[in-house]
Chains A and B, each alone.
Chain A
Amino acid sequence: MSDGRNIVIRDVSKFYGDVLGVNRVDLEIEPGITSLVGPNGSGKSTLMNLLAGLLRPTRGEISVLGLPVTRPQDLFRRFGYCTQYDSFPRGATGWQFVFSYLLLHGLDRGEAERLTARALERVGLVDSAHRRIAGYSKGMRQRIKLAQAIAHGPQVMVLDEPLNGLDPMVRAETIELFRQLAGEGQHVLISSHILHEVDLLSDRVILISNGYIVAEGEVPGMRAEVEEVREQPLQVFVRCDRPQWLAGRAFELDHVTEVQLHDDGGGLHLRTRDADRFLRLVAELVAEGGVEVEAVGPADSDLQAVYRYLVDEEEEPS
């Protein structure tokens, strides 16, 4: 049961006529960085638009911090949404864009100016603030949208593909900004199809495919928690001086299903249904002096691996 601090989605479905948007989504999202990951068309934006009240659920109910999403006058004092739409009011400069919508929160001009300046500073757009958005690069447009979404200091930030179009430096700064916001106790819900990024920055991950939530949880524990994944062979890598010999020993084990030597001849990848037993074997061989191991570890316990197991190969994101 929600205590009004979380985002609660209860049995929510959304159909566009006969087309499924999302189906039977049940989630309770706590403060921190949560990533919503799925391929294009999987239902990420639909779910986010439902959270913001831009779409109405066909079934189920949603509340954000205990507020129904049908009450914008209360919800949007605490909620900021950076949508996927790359469009802006015609002729607006970056400053005007952030400032004018802040005035709609009922702030006086002085306070609105202060918050506009702070938001532009946080996204690194101070120097371009008085240029027209129409002349901004893709990355700058992405950042000005982000500034507008966070300017009023919302407790919940929903950000649809916020890292799209950002160069590596700005990307790193933006991720750091998300961490700061989450560190202040806020909800930061990010959608992405770039898995290695959310893997690094998220506290929790929600995997969505074809409108269904296929897994959710903390990234390190997700693999273990998902039974379907646990039954899949785990990929392990070993960097060593005698990979061919080690491959031969590995094939003697019944739980090893596949071995692949590295092109440089300095290691191997293998798939095993019992990684613990394989790692014990490696430790014994090292102790016996049979092989010198430079590095060993799971190669696919990250989010990408979980995703690959749960979502059809043809839908696999980048």
Chain B
Amino acid sequence: MTVAQETATPSRIDWTLLARQVGGLVRLELRRLLLTRRAVILGVASAIPVGIVLLVGSIPIGGQTVLERFGNRIVYETIFETVFLGAILFFGCLYVFFNLFRGEILERSLHYLLLTPLRREVVVAAKYAAAVAAVAVLFMASTVFSYMLIYLPVGFSGAVEDLTAGPGGRHLVAYLGVTLLACIGYGSLFTLVGMVFRNPIIPAGALYVWEMLHFLLPPALKKLSVIHYLKGLLPVPLSDGPFAVVVEPPPPAVSVLGLLAFAAVVLAATALIIRRMEIRYTED
């Protein structure tokens, strides 16, 4: 019998207390994310798709706007897939989630969290949940605003009709779902990367290349990319070009559950690392 076992009594979980503790940590993290310079950078990034859609929807070229000439759904899908999903969500999540723990390690303030009466796994889950909430709110707002701008050529009544009676509402929900799942999937991945690597450039660069060139990968390897599942959920299919290895997208349920399971596994790995982690800032 160990010293501790001689006298320690197993503690029962007080769920109400735990909920208050997690609430406190989520609020602390949200304040750190939304009331600092980080939020300004994310806000600017999330405004980029809105600006692009505004440009292509309001500036006429040869008498027609781009939205009118190529069709608003195709144009929006292209912007969403290439700019938003292909860059802003990826790098926005990298910026926030890589620094979720690494930022506090570099700031030498992580020990304050680890000296609170919270299991380290709970700390990981609560910080991650707060970051997903913060990033998702910003990026989903960006999705809604940018999507609404595709109705510039048809006006308010046309927008209401498409959103309620046409496919517009379903498409918007799909884009919001993809945005949320991207935050969840990339968020978990970059949280883990932040725990393992001190510098994000090499791992993030490798991941970015992998994600962006996924269409060239053989079918088996495609399944190892986050974007493969996200693209399967997009409402308007676009061609990946003549060199793409074409495979049937996974069913939506597989994409959603697969990404959630992926995030859970990656977070579990992160929790395992932080559980064994020692605070020795001099090494960082």
Contact = CB atoms under 8 A, between A and B. Distances in A.
Q: Do A and B bind each other?
A: yes
A73 B28 contact: no
- Considering residues A54, A55, A80, which has the most beta carbons from chain B within 10 angstroms of its beta carbon? A54
A108 interface: yes
B112 A76 contact: no
A75 to B, nearest CB: 7
Contacts of B3: 2, 8, 10, 61-63, 66
A169 interface: no
Contacts of B20: 103, 106-108
A76 B114 CA distance: 9
A63 B7 contact: yes
Given A3-B7, A54-B278, A74-B117, 20 more contacts: A2-B7, A54-B111, A54-B114, A68-B2, A72-B117, A72-B120, A73-B117, A73-B118, A74-B8, A74-B11, A76-B115, A79-B115, A85-B108, A88-B109, A89-B104, A100-B28, A100-B31, A103-B21, A103-B27, A106-B21
B90 to A, nearest CB: 25
A68 B3 CA distance: 8
A49 interface: yes
A104 interface: yes
Interface string B8-41: 1001001001101101110110011000100000
A77 B111 contact: no
Nearest to A68: B4
B119 interface: yes
Interface string A80-96: 11010101111100000
A77 B17 CA distance: 12
A67 interface: yes
B52 to A, nearest CB: 32
Contact of A104 (B25, B276, B281): B25
A56 interface: yes
Contacts of B27: 100, 103
Interface of B: 2-8, 11, 14, 17-18, 20-21, 23-25, 27-28, 31-32, 36, 104, 107-109, 111-120, 122, 276, 278-281
A2 B114 CA distance: 26
B191 to A, nearest CB: 19
A209 interface: no
A280 interface: no
A-B pairs, top 5 by smallest CB distance, nearest first, are A66-B7, A103-B24, A4-B7, A68-B4, A87-B108
A287 interface: no
A150 interface: no
A106 B18 contact: yes
Contact of B11 (A71, A87, A148): A71
B114 A103 contact: no
Given A88-B109, A89-B107, A90-B36, A104 B8 contact: no
B114 A56 contact: no
Given A106-B17, A108-B20, A148 B112 contact: yes
Contact of A87 (B7, B31, B107): B107
A99 B25 CA distance: 12
A68 B115 CA distance: 14
A43 to B, nearest CB: 14
A295 interface: no
- Considering residues A68, A73, A103, A108, which has the most beta carbons from chain B within 10 angstroms of its beta carbon? A73
Contacts of A8: 3
A136 interface: no
Interface string A210-247: 00000000000000000000000000000000000000
A75 B114 CA distance: 11
B279 A54 contact: yes
A147 interface: no
Contacts of B21: 103-106
17 contacts: A3-B7, A54-B115, A55-B280, A61-B4, A62-B3, A63-B2, A63-B4, A63-B8, A76-B115, A76-B116, A85-B281, A87-B108, A100-B27, A103-B20, A104-B113, A106-B20, A106-B21
B274 to A, nearest CB: 11
B19 to A, nearest CB: 8
- Considering residues B3, B14, B122, B281, which has the most beta carbons from chain A within 10 angstroms of its beta carbon? B3
